Structure 1
Amino acid sequence: MTVETPRIGIVGIHGHGASHVRRALALEERGVARLVAVADPTPPAPGALPAHVVHDDDAEGMLARGIVDVAIISTPIHTHAAIAAAALDAGCDVLLEKPPTATLDEFHALEVHAAARGARAQVGFQSLGSEAVPYVRGLVADGAIGEVLRYGATGAWVRDDRYYARAAWAGRRRMGGVVVADGALTNPLAHASATALALAGMQRADDVDGIALDLFHANDIEADDTSVARFALRDGRTLTTAVTLCAAQREEPWVEVVGAHGTVRLYYTLDVVQLVRGDGRPPVTRAFGRAPLLENLLDARAGRAPLAVPLAETGAFMRLVDAVMAAPEPRAIPAEHWTEAVDDAGRHRVVRGVEAALHDALRTQRTFTELGAPFIC
């Protein structure tokens, strides 16, 4: 190790934060970076971290030590803005989990803050580090599917009762008057919209002219678990996202670009692209690699690469978060339209016919209400 080796601090080391700890330690083994500090009200298990890693109960204590160059923030959504601003004030570059903030006002304030500090702020949309994203953009630009007609994104996932019991903020829109925004569109399936916006090249806040929303929940939560968002994009095209956490079983989420002569579909958790042409030729499927966002941030610090997911390029997604929170409260799906399943995925609610409704929403660019989906009647 040399004095130039970036020193990493992680705020939030349990849950998803544990994956950041593992990655930082792997980089330390390679001599690329050094994990020096963590912050979490729940300490690490004895022996879980090397002896040189210091622990503080909160970000304030960790940052006050002045030993961190890169701060990873993996905490509840409503805490992101304040912790990220404090890390920037402490002279750190930041890897901030998605969504970057809970509100659009916080997002714009954080943009100004980062620019004033001359700091790098990377947002943790892992799918945007995939080599598949520029590949799909290239296919579309080269005319492989003809004129682009529309964009779509969908995910049909299962979330059991333990998921909503994992934290006080889980499944909440607000808590104690503070925006939490823990709904299907804005947190677990946030990558769907963010990846589709990236394929469309519409990632900044002013790339979105408006968003129509249809928000529902089958679970006993405040936030949405079954929803449609229809983006009106600056170029006149439409992007429709249709998602649920109440599927019978998990399906791989995907985003697509539909053209006059074919469709390109990206299974974004797998980094797999499928090209289907309208002339009857067999589909072409390719798998791609992915640049981990922490490594990319370190490369950007060293001048070897641009940031994969700079803060400014998540503004269009933040328009979605803002619209969701400005919308009326999600409507409850009547009990006669869902069942409670107990299987390998745990105890979870299944909305009857939701998978077909998701596909219909994408195909027609209509919301569940506009479709007259049976489960909302």
Structure 2
Amino acid sequence: MTTTFAVLGIHGYGRYHLAEIARLQAEGLAEVVAVADPRGADGAEHLPAGVPCYADLDELLAHVVPDVVTLATPIHTHAPLAITALRAGAHVLVEKPTTATLAELTELVQTSQETGRVVQVGFQSFGSHAYPEIQRLVESGTIGELTGLGGVGTWSRALSYYQRSRWAGTRVLDGVPVVDGVVTNPLAHCVATALKIAGAPRAEDVASVDLELYHAHDIEADDTSSVRVTTTAGTRLTFGLTLAGPGHTPPTIIVQGTRGELVFSYTDDRLWTRTADGETQTRFERTGMLRNLVEHLTEGVPLLAPAEDTGAFMRVLEAVRTAPDPAPVDPAYVTWLGEGDESYPVIADIETWCARAAAEHKLFSELGAPWAGPRG
């Protein structure tokens, strides 16, 4: 059985959707029947010849209703486009973050249930085959009693990153929530992955969220933040995340125990086990979200990232959205590197502050970072 797809947003991340569908098509599993992008199809990568390109979803649905609509569109369009596709009779794969508000997620899940159509979210790390091994190691007592989880992400972003679109780096655009900050978009996987490992994927699994939001770039949203989440089971998860680091280091989740720790590099599916007996490293495969969705529709395989299992992450997003505006980092602690549109800021010792936040379960101001103060 061939699953038909329509792809929205083909000049951004949607090109990866097209590439993955092409691989599935080579196996006789999928076919692109339409795409939509206001910029048209010129220059689009991996777009099969003869596939019609429409200006928007409404025009596309007037001609064809595919089995699946994939959305690689601006954050604030996720909910309305996904709901439109569901009501038309299509299943949906939507890129992260699932929606721009927690209320939109609730509406999206309700619409999915009402229409009998599913929503898969593009949290690619959820497809890692490392999860069962992490669960086994924790439950076997290999690292002793679980004491918490930490997340560290230290990336850099140039000025050009925030110049690519009107919504980049905004909290609100034309009166509509966007929430395009480090916690909720570029390093969203760090937060969502840790919550999944902690066994707390849904909104009702989160008891509280404490956070501090800052920016080194001249943007509205946060590019450097510390976040502490407490689950209803009492587990603490603390994150130090920045886009103002000196480079692009693979982000990690640290599963902390009384006898050791697990370190999961979720972008390349590597897992380190560190105890008094030594250190081991294992590399895992992963299943893509589109492949998993096809297998769900054709074989009944469970979804890896159903929308409702991003509820805990959306609780964090909602805390970010409703928090006071991020505070600018004092320029005295920021060094700009590079030239022109490719220049980028680096906050002094930010890698250390992020690592300490995750290890000590403290926000930046609680650690004494000289540029930090409580923000929410």
Taking structure 2 as the reference length, the TM-score comes to 0.96
2:152 is matched with 154
Do the aligned partners of residues 47 and 336 (structure 1) sit closer, same or farther apart at CA in structure 2, a change above 3 Å counting?
closer
Equivalent residue in structure 1 for 2:28, among 5, 19, 31: 31
Partner SS state of residue 321, structure 1: helix
1:41 is matched with 38
* Distance (whole Å) between structure 1 residues aligned to residue 300 and residue 88 of structure 2: 24
The answer to whether the 8 A contact 2:15-2:44 is kept is no
1:268 is matched with 266
Give 1:349 shift.
Answer: 0.5
* Distance (whole Å) between structure 1 residues aligned to residue 300 and residue 149 of structure 2: 32
Partner SS state of residue 286, structure 1: strand
Give 1:46 shift.
Answer: 5.9
Do the aligned partners of residues 301 and 102 (structure 1) sit closer, same or farther apart at CA in structure 2, a change above 3 Å counting?
same
User: 1:294-373 to 2 correspondence within 5 Å?
Assistant: 294-342=290-338, 346-373=342-369
2:279 is matched with 283
Q: Which range moves more in the overlay, 267-276 or 62-71?
A: 62-71
The residue identity in structure 2 corresponding to 1:336 is A
* Distance (whole Å) between structure 2 residues aligned to residue 244 and residue 158 of structure 1: 7
Unaligned runs of 5+ in 2: none
The answer to whether the 8 A contact 2:246-2:346 is kept is yes
Please tell me whether residue 20 in structure 1 is matched to residue 31 in structure 2.
no
The residue identity in structure 2 corresponding to 1:32 is L
Equivalent residue in structure 2 for 1:223, among 221, 227, 232: 221
The residue identity in structure 2 corresponding to 1:190 is A
* Distance (whole Å) between structure 2 residues aligned to residue 179 and residue 244 of structure 1: 21
Percent identity of equivalent pairs = 41
2:79 is matched with 81
Unaligned runs of 5+ in 1: none
Give 1:51 shift.
Answer: 3.0
Q: Deviations over 1:282-326 (max 9, x none)?
A: 201000000010000000001241100111110000001100011
The answer to whether the 8 A contact 1:158-1:345 is kept is no
Give 1:90 shift.
Answer: 1.2
Please tell me whether residue 90 in structure 1 is matched to residue 88 in structure 2.
yes
Do the aligned partners of residues 323 and 46 (structure 1) sit closer, same or farther apart at CA in structure 2, a change above 3 Å counting?
closer
2:6 is matched with 9
Give 1:50 shift.
Answer: 2.6
2:183 is matched with 185
The residue identity in structure 1 corresponding to 2:259 is H
Q: Deviations over 1:320-341 (max 9, x none)?
A: 1100011000000011110110
Give 1:16 shift.
Answer: 1.1
Q: Which range moves more in the overlay, 207-216 or 357-366?
A: 357-366
The residue identity in structure 1 corresponding to 2:301 is A
Do the aligned partners of residues 47 and 98 (structure 1) sit closer, same or farther apart at CA in structure 2, a change above 3 Å counting?
closer
| Count of aligned positions | 372
Q: Deviations over 1:77-132 (max 9, x none)?
A: 00000000011011111111001100000000111000011111100000010001
User: 1:27-176 to 2 correspondence within 5 Å?
Assistant: 27-45=24-42, 49-176=47-174
* Distance (whole Å) between structure 2 residues aligned to residue 306 and residue 354 of structure 1: 40
The answer to whether the 8 A contact 2:336-2:346 is kept is yes
Taking structure 1 as the reference length, the TM-score comes to 0.96
The residue identity in structure 2 corresponding to 1:366 is K
Q: Deviations over 1:6-26 (max 9, x none)?
A: 110001111211111111122
